[in-house]
Amino acid sequence: MQGLTLTNDKPMLVLGIETTCDETAAAVVERRGDGSGRILSNVVRSQTEEHARFGGVVPEIAARAHVDLLDGIVDRAMKDAGVSYVQLSAVAAAAGPGLIGGVIVGLTTAKAIAMVHDTPLIAVNHLEAHALTPRLTCALAFPYCLFLASGGHTQIVAVIGVGNYVRLGTTVDDAMGEAFDKVAKMLSLPYPGGPQVELAAAGGDAKRFSFPRPMLGRPDANFSLSGLKTAVRNEASRITPLEPQDVADLCAGFQAAVLESTADRLAVGLKLFREQFGPPRALVAAGGVAANQAIRGALQDVAARAQTTLIIPPPALCTDNGAMIAWAGAERMAIGLTDTMEAAPRARWLLDANARAPAGYANSRAGY
């Protein structure tokens, strides 16, 4: 249930809390009356070391770490920003989608702060926070096209306005970052796997193996990476034991297939955008996969062919962080939206309320 507040023409300070996966984060952001923004603090504690020996994020360990870390990180964010709780216009927390244990920790902490200091609460959709980040970094006007690619999400979204999103494409199985991590794991590369695959691919021969280009040429803008991942596994099994050059060539072939498929899917997504909403102001890339330099190059080519601008926020704002949550909270508050203490944590939360899962959709996280 949502409440209303009328502060759209006033500057505001918002504390943002992010705990949806394995980063414990808090930040304070200022939104000025003219709609521009400024980050006053942004504290992120990654749990990579806690999960490394398991080769992936363990939800129970992540939730426990959030409990142990969050109070101290919020305190540091407030001190770094040089503001007191009574100066806050609102407290925002990522209420989903994500690992439910972590989401509960962050949202409960935000509710406690809001209640103690009689401050408005804003329950933020984590995906909306990614979608609105370029308005914080470069004051981007609506509408624009978002490509969100991370370990949990792969989507193409038309960002029409605050709270107004249309999903143009999603994955029917694995998210892109998840596929990179799984390929890394099957090739015995260290965790987190995505950067390791990129590093190995730099020394490999992308033409040695003939991998499929999933969904190429389809009229929809959906993604599929499970079959490509299986093809890598089959080739790896065929030539076992693997030498370092084999691993490099497998990574190079996998990454090349992802690049070609992504370029095709985005070209279709941008075409659908233009047909429905006119020319986009920009193509925006967000999520941890946007840190991959080869993928950035492919996105630049796609944007150039579509005659639009590519915008990628700084790496620290592409991955999970509190500043994007605080900014999304400020953007929502500016149009009169806050939440009550009944706001519920959500493991799944579609950004586009009218979207439907594509045929064959099976993954419990990707696309949400």
Helix/strand/coil (H, E, C) string of 97-116?
Answer: CCCHHHHHHHHHHHHHHHHH
The single-letter DSSP state of residue 232 is: H
Coil/strand/helix, residue 43: strand
Architecture of the domain made up of 144-313 = 2-Layer Sandwich (3.30)
pLDDT of residue 356: 67
Tokens of 160: 């029409």
Residue 357: is its pLDDT beyond 70? no
On the CB side of 305, CA atoms within 13 Å amount to 14
The single-letter DSSP state of residue 220 is: S
Give me the residues paired with residue 314 across strands: none
Residue intervals of the chain classified under CATH 3.30.420.40 are: 2-139+316-339, 144-313
pLDDT of residue 359: 54
Distance CA 46, CA 23 (A): 5
Distance CA 15, CA 19 (A): 14
Output the CA angle 278-282-283, nearest 5 degrees.
105
What is the CATH topology of the domain spanning 2-139+316-339? Nucleotidyltransferase; domain 5 (3.30.420)
Measuring CA to CA, how many Å separate 193 from each of 73, 178, 187, 314?
Answer: 26, 9, 10, 21
Residue 358: is its pLDDT beyond 70? no
pLDDT confidence tier of residue 9, bands split at 50, 70 and 90 = low
Residue 317: is its pLDDT beyond 90? yes
User: Any residues with CB less than 8 A from the CB of 72 and at least 6 apart, and which?
Assistant: none
Residue 159: is its pLDDT beyond 60? yes
Q: Which pTM does this prediction carry?
A: 0.92
- Tell me the percentage of the chain whose pLDDT exceeds 70: 94
User: Any residues with CB less than 8 A from the CB of 84 and at least 6 apart, and which?
Assistant: 78
What is the tens place of the pLDDT at every residue in 129-142? 999 999 999 999 99
Specify the length of the chain in residues: 368
Q: Do 147 and 269 contact (CB within 8 A), yes or no?
A: yes
Measuring CA to CA, how many Å separate 362 from each of 214, 287, 359?
Answer: 16, 21, 9
What is the tens place of the pLDDT at every residue in 166-197? 999 999 999 999 999 999 999 999 988 999 99
- Mean pLDDT, residues 65-91: 98
- Mean pLDDT, residues 59-71: 96
pLDDT of residue 10: 78
Distance CA 113, CA 31 (A): 20
- Mean pLDDT, residues 103-131: 97
Least confident of 43-57, 109-123, 306-320: 43-57
Measuring CA to CA, how many Å separate 300 from each of 81, 112, 251, 285, 307?
Answer: 35, 44, 22, 10, 10
Q: Are strands 338-339 and 90-96 parallel, antiparallel or unpaired?
A: unpaired
User: Any residues with CB less than 8 A from the CB of 210 and at least 6 apart, and which?
Assistant: 253
What is the tens place of the pLDDT at every residue in 199-229? 999 999 999 999 999 999 999 999 999 999 9
